Amino acid sequence: MKIIKDYKTFINESSFHLNGDTKDIMLVLDDLKELPTDDILKFRDAIEGVVQISENLNESYISDMIGKIRLRFDRWLDDLTWKRIINRKKEFYSNLVEMMNIFDLKSLDDVVTNYPGFKLESLYLAGGMDKAIDVGAGWRNELEFEFETYKRNDRIASTHEEISFGELGTFKPCRVIEGKNLSEFIINPDKIKRLYDVPVTLNPVRKEVDRTKSIDFATAAVKYKSFSGATEPEEYEPTMTHLRKTLSKSIEPDDEQLVRIVDGVFLGLNIAAAGGTFGELETASYMRKPIFVWMTDKNWKFSDFSIWNFPHITKLCRNKNEMKILVKTLIDFAK
């Protein structure tokens, strides 16, 4: 029987504590994030070599070893970063190494280690919708296109109706689920997965008819956002009641069910991500599901990321090219 733990116990047993070291590690990663992946992974391996030598290393010995590593990597890490690294203990180095694994997009070995029994048959595409100009469809279409075109199974695709991928065109899918199959996936996921190649992708933009195709809901949403100065109930009713019923009865439950069913979450992170997105990430973290992140906005830094979700990033793509690398890795692993 699974024991429900209190909040303090949950925090203390997390692999990454919410303390000063967390902030410093994010600052180190901010310095690293503009570097080529190969340089980051060489640095990770060098740090890992230090912390694995012995369980009983004293701080002065570690500092000496870090000093030697500094001679190799000083060309692209500033002095403040090195001070943060050198003036820390072994736990800091271990956490830093673990976090740098998020940049290694060609291997899922750390995912298998951290999520025993991990399999990859389905992914949920999380990300902002209400605050996004295109309801979050743009980056999702790009991601789906990559899942469709790498090792594409034309035989499976031929059994499905054509669907739209926005500006990327219209064609028959082999991994992207839409229409009645998307609705039925919530009820019988194993049956629907047999109709597609793995990993299948579940896109909430394709599912939420009320949000994307209902004129009434779209009108109500626009009206709701204009209520910045409303203070009396009659100023925002019946709009508020209509939105609450739609969200609570058809949108939110289905999204939560999908997060529950899938094997992992693929997050498109940008300024449009809000309450619903982070709620889905919390659900995924509590259920021990990996979270793969694509930073779709170029203007970002680690310290902008929610500190609660930050420890649960499994892999991180910093641009479109890295997203393509990760998609190939995920498909190869699934197959």
Instruction: Please tell me the predicted confidence (pLDDT) of residue 13.
Output: 43
pLDDT tens digit string along 46-102?
888 877 765 555 667 777 778 888 888 888 888 888 888 877 777 788 888 888 999
Instruction: Please tell me the predicted confidence (pLDDT) of residue 75.
Output: 82
What backbone torsions phi and psi does residue 11 show, to the nearest 5 degrees?
Answer: -65, -45
The pLDDT-based confidence of 144 (bands split at 50, 70, 90) is very high
Residue range 321-325: average pLDDT?
96
Which are the contacts of 59, defined by CB distance < 8 A and separation ≥ 6? 89
Q: Residue 2 carries which DSSP code?
A: P
User: Nearest 5°: CA angle at 116, between 113 and 119?
Assistant: 105
**Distance in angstroms (rounded) separating the CA atoms of residues 200 and 120:** 9
Instruction: Please tell me the predicted confidence (pLDDT) of residue 24.
Output: 79
Place of tokens 């709701």: 224
pLDDT tens digit string along 229-244?
666 666 667 766 766 6
The amino acid sitting at 53 is I
Q: Under a CB-based contact definition with an 8 Å cutoff, are residues 168 and 194 in contact?
A: no
Instruction: Please tell me the predicted confidence (pLDDT) of residue 8.
Output: 43
Q: Is 147 helix (H, G, I), strand (E, B) or coil?
A: helix
Instruction: Please tell me the predicted confidence (pLDDT) of residue 206.
Output: 83
Judged against a pLDDT cut of 80, whether residue 175 lies above it is answered with yes
Residue range 281-286: average pLDDT?
68
pLDDT tens digit string along 290-311?
889 898 887 766 666 666 667 6
- Share above pLDDT 70 across residues of the chain, in percent, rounded to a whole number: 65
Residue range 254-278: average pLDDT?
74
Shortest CA distance to 168 belongs to which of 204, 197, 132, 144? Answer: 144
Q: Under a CB-based contact definition with an 8 Å cutoff, are residues 327 and 150 in contact?
A: yes
Q: Under a CB-based contact definition with an 8 Å cutoff, are residues 206 and 131 in contact?
A: no
What backbone torsions phi and psi does residue 122 show, to the nearest 5 degrees?
Answer: -155, 145
Instruction: Please tell me the predicted confidence (pLDDT) of residue 201.
Output: 95
Instruction: Please tell me the predicted confidence (pLDDT) of residue 79.
Output: 83
Shortest CA distance to 319 belongs to which of 299, 303, 296, 300? Answer: 296
Instruction: Please tell me the predicted confidence (pLDDT) of residue 1.
Output: 43
The amino acid sitting at 190 is D
What backbone torsions phi and psi does residue 205 show, to the nearest 5 degrees?
Answer: -65, -35
Q: Is 314 helix (H, G, I), strand (E, B) or coil?
A: strand
Instruction: Please tell me the predicted confidence (pLDDT) of residue 231.
Output: 62
What backbone torsions phi and psi does residue 271 show, to the nearest 5 degrees?
Answer: -65, -15
Instruction: Please tell me the predicted confidence (pLDDT) of residue 11.
Output: 39
Residue range 105-109: average pLDDT?
95
Judged against a pLDDT cut of 60, whether residue 212 lies above it is answered with no
Ranges of each domain in the chain? 7-104, 112-334
Query: Which H/E stretch holds residue 38?
Result: helix 37-51
Q: Under a CB-based contact definition with an 8 Å cutoff, are residues 258 and 186 in contact?
A: yes
Q: Which residue has the higher pLDDT, 55 or 196?
A: 196
Instruction: Please tell me the predicted confidence (pLDDT) of residue 321.
Output: 95
Q: Residue 176 carries which DSSP code?
A: B
Judged against a pLDDT cut of 70, whether residue 331 lies above it is answered with yes
Which are the contacts of 18, defined by CB distance < 8 A and separation ≥ 6? 11, 307, 308
Query: For the chain, what is the mean pLDDT?
Result: 78
Parallel/antiparallel/unpaired status of strands 170-171 and 163-164: antiparallel
**Distance in angstroms (rounded) separating the CA atoms of residues 257 and 273:** 19
